[in-house]
Amino acid sequence: MREELLPLFPLPLVLFPRTPLPLHIFEERYKEMIGQAIEDGSEFGIVMARNNGVVNAGCSANVLEVAHRYSDGRLDIVTRGQRRFELLELVDGQNYLRGRVRYFDDEEFSPVEEDLRRRALEGYAQAVQATGQDAETKPLLEDPQLSFQLAQILSDVDMRQQLLMMRSETERLKQLLQYFPQHVKRFQHTELIREVAPKNGHGKHLPFGN
Instruction: Give the pairing type, strands 98-104 and 53-69.
Output: unpaired
Q: Is residue 124 one of the residues assigned to a domain?
A: yes
pLDDT recorded at residue 36: 96
Q: Note whether 99 and 188 are same-domain residues.
A: no
- Is 59 a residue whose pLDDT tops 80? yes
Answer whether residue 52 shows pLDDT above 50.
yes
Same domain membership, residue 184 and residue 162: yes
**In the prediction, which pLDDT does 200 show?**
45
d(CA 121, CA 126): 9
Q: Record the pTM.
A: 0.87
Domain encompassing residue 167: 114-196
Chosen domain end from 75, 104, 133: 104
Hey, which residues does 57 pair with through a beta bridge?
86
Domain shared by 128 and 96, yes or no: no
pLDDT band, very low/low/confident/very high, at 136 (cuts 50, 70, 90): low
Residues 180 and 88 in one domain: no
CA–CA distance, 86 with 100 (Å, rounded to integer): 9
For the domain that residue 8 is a member of, what is the CATH number? Answer: 2.30.130.40
Instruction: Please identify, among 57, 74, 104, the residue that sits at the C-terminal boundary of a domain.
Output: 104
Q: Which of 104, 132, 167 is the last residue of a domain?
A: 104
User: Looking at the domain assignment, is residue 206 inside a domain?
Assistant: no
Report the pLDDT averaged over residues 110-138: 89
Number of domains in the chain: 2
Establish if 163 belongs to a structural domain: yes
Whether residue 42 is found in the same domain as residue 119: no
Residue 21 has pLDDT above 60, yes or no: yes
Give the pLDDT score at 2. 73
Same domain, 89 and 7: yes
Q: Which has more confidence, 132 or 142?
A: 142
23: Cβ contacts below 8 Å, ≥ 6 apart: 76, 77, 78, 79
Q: Which helix (H) or strand (E) holds 185?
A: helix 169-196
| Pairing verdict, β 3-11 and 98-104 | antiparallel
In terms of C-beta density within 10 A (0-12 exposed, 13-18 middle, 19 or more buried), how is residue 116 classed? middle
DSSP state of 153: G
pLDDT digit string, tens, across residues 177-188: 999 999 998 888
In a domain, 205, yes or no: no
AA letter at 203? G
Do 129 and 82 fall within a single domain? Answer: no
- What average pLDDT does range 19-43 have in this prediction? 96
- Tens of pLDDT, residue by residue over 167-206, are 999 999 999 999 999 999 888 877 777 777 555 444 443 3
Does pLDDT of 121 surpass 70? yes
Instruction: Work out the mean pLDDT of the chain and round it to a whole number.
Output: 90
**125 and 81 in a common domain:** no
How confident is residue 1, by pLDDT bands cut at 50, 70 and 90?
low
d(CA 36, CA 75): 13
Residue ranges with strand state E in 93-141: 98-104
In this structure, are 92 and 8 located in the same domain? yes
Residue type for position 186: R
β-pair partners for 59 = 46, 84
